[in-house]
Amino acid sequence: MQNTSKTWPLNAIVYQIYPRSFQDSNNDGVGDLQGIISRLQYLADLGINTVWLSPIYPSPMVDFGYDVADYCDIDPVYGTLDDFKELLAECHKHDIKLLMDLIPNHTSTQHKWFLESKKSKKNAFRDYYIWKNAHPGSGGVPNNWLSCFGGSGWEFDAETGQYYLHSFAKEQADLNWRNPAVVKEMLNVLRFWLDLGIDGFRVDVPEWMIKDDKFRDEPENPDYKPGPQSDPYQQLIHKYTHAQKEYLEIVKQFIEVLEEYEHKFMVTEVWSPSEQMIKVYNEIERDFFAPFNFFIITHPWEARIHRQVIDHYDSRVTHVYTPTYVLGSHDKSRTATRIGHAQLRVAALLLFTLRGIPFIYYGEEIGMEDTLIPPEKVHDPFEKNIPGMGLGRDPERTPMQWDNKIFAGFSEHEPWLPVNDNYRQVNVEKLTGDDESLHALYKELIAMRQNSEALLTGKYSSWDTGVDDIFAYTRHAGSEVILVILNYSNKPHKITLPFRKGKLLLDSHGIIEKGTDMLLYNLVVPANNGYLVNI
Ligand SMILES: [Ca+2]
């Protein structure tokens, strides 16, 4: 058995905390750092060894912390820098590593750099941001670039008579990464947190950092169809604002800063097609670096499709690299809502048995659902700018459901977003007391993964089952071979595999006893069920 596979980050089980919604300690209705500290034992008991905190920097909260006003401090709503140091020390006491969210593409327009930058065209900070004159022909916006949150990506500043670029909300001004001073500032931000002892970063939208230096108009997307469910950002092909190859040079500089320290990890957000993602791996070439893999979220929940996508990914992200799998995120509908409750156990088996670091979004381990947000309670700028199209991200950001008390034990004060009505049935207290709960399954799978060379780093191979609805694969290291059989449908299926028999390690529904000899020829897999079998 190799030692390296059991060391972090290869054995990471990452839990994403959305701090506003995890635990409120001072009853102002918003989660905070002391609240997180009070729940670390819960995470340690679940088997979590890595926490990623969504942003906690001082922020006007236009985009809930993704509009940073100071990269080297903590927003008072969450606590102080001392609270943060306490949180970090407590994480490490619980053998939990801590990843911070790094938001390099843009700052809040309240950041001191931007406040300086907009003072005059001659200000020393002017080139920290992307300022352009009006289009010489039309006299309007400099070009057709769009904001991901709707409308033009350009905002006019009357005082200096120029436009600044914002790829997201207009209160989030894009930094000019072609300016070496910006690079230097941000590398020092990384060092500030690494010096405090954090274990790495999750990097927000790095693919947007570099834009075409000629500011060319983007071509229209011929496949775009306007309609109630269409995201207007998709009307252009983002040839000149997204995934420009120079952005990887900046990520490389982040990596070099991490290498000034020991045992750090960096994961970058990437929404590009798979070939681009492989290119990112090939360019960066470090085992402590990985782009997120959102394929499970972005592809339909179908066994046949998952097999194709995962086969391809696994074959390209070779053992030199560190693969990842994300089941839920603060930007996408919750898994229970996306695929339905009946499939949550199958999803858990999938997440913890693939060759890649699993990322768990808070509350997924108890099967939290999207929450219906009445229009007057909407906070997300995406929903506010483009209402009624189902683009808003508030539904998956509601308070963690801890118990059946008022506001689900998250706070004694009315929370910033409403608690889901199902909290009396779906809560941590109830599910941790139930050996048959989804939470118990998560805990068991995490423990199993951490103790299995095959599940952690073993070779992945998928197998024909003769049934489109069933995804079967093995994980294999040395003499340990674990067969995973997942029924994605609500019907039982009889399958044929090229294996004769094995011993049951786990039945997703606990019907068949562990250790039972399983005949794998003409095996009937019940609806919505999964098996792990030692063969
Ligand atoms: Ca609070």
Are 365 and 274 in a shared domain? yes
Strand partners, 482: 475, 534
Q: Is residue 82 one of the residues assigned to a domain?
A: yes
Contact 134, 112 (CB under 8 A): no
DSSP conformation class of 70? -
Q: Which residues pair with 503 in a beta bridge?
A: 517, 534
**353 and 400 together in one domain:** yes
Cα 220 to the center of its chain, rounded Å: 29
Q: H or E segment at 297? A: helix 295-298
Helix (H, G, I), strand (E, B) or coil at 188: helix
- Ligand 1 centroid to residue 81 C-alpha, Å: 15
The pLDDT value recorded for residue 382 is 78
CA 429 to ligand 1 center in whole angstroms: 21
Q: Is there a single domain that holds both residue 396 and residue 479?
A: no
By the CB criterion, residues less than 5 angstroms from ion ligand 1 are 24, 26, 28, 30, 32
Backbone angles phi, psi at 200, to 5 degrees: 155, -170
The pLDDT of residue 3: 40
Are 59 and 88 in the same domain? yes
Q: State how beta strands 517-519 and 501-507 pair.
A: antiparallel
Spell out the SS3 assignment of 99-111: EEEECCCEEECCC
Does 482 map to a domain?
yes
- Which residue ranges of the chain lie beneath pLDDT 70? 1-6
Assess if residue 40 is contained within a domain: yes
Select from 425, 446, 467 the last residue of a domain: 446
Retrieve residue 54's tokens.
Answer: 């969504």
User: Do residues 341 and 382 share a domain?
Assistant: yes
Map residue 232 onto helix, strand or coil: helix
Q: What is the 312 CA–ligand 1 centroid distance (Å)?
A: 44
**What's phi and psi for 371, nearest 5 deg?**
-110, 135
Query: What pLDDT does residue 5 have?
Result: 54
Instruction: For residue 452, tell me if it sits in a domain.
Output: no
Rg (CA), the chain: 24
Q: Do 330 and 381 have their domain in common? A: yes
Q: Are residues 467 and 439 in the same domain?
A: no
In a domain, 124, yes or no: no
CA of 519 to the centre of ligand 1 (A): 54
Strands (E), 248-398: 265-268, 289-291, 324-326, 357-361
Can you give the CATH number for the domain in which 285 is found?
A: 3.20.20.80
289-298: pLDDT as tens digits? 999 999 899 9
Residue where a domain stops, chosen among 446, 471, 506: 446
Same domain, 207 and 85: yes
Are 437 and 506 contained in the same domain? no
Residue 240 in domain = no
526 found inside a domain: yes
pTM score: 0.95
Is 117 contained in some domain?
no
Domain boundary among 421, 446, 471: 446
Of 454, 432, 455, nearest in space to 445 by CA: 455
Would you state the structure tokens that stand for residue 174, as one six-digit string? 């894009």
Clarify whether residues 317 and 435 are in a common domain.
yes
The amino acid at residue 325 is: Y
Q: Domain range for residue 523?
A: 459-534
d(CA 107, CA 185): 13
402 and 494 in a single domain? The answer is no
Catalytic residues: 204, 269
Instruction: Output the domain CATH number for residue 523.
Output: 2.60.40.1180
Structural domain count, the chain: 2
Same domain, 439 and 490: no
Rounded-to-integer distance, Cα 410 and Cα 433, Å: 19
Distance 314 CA to ligand 1 centre (A): 42
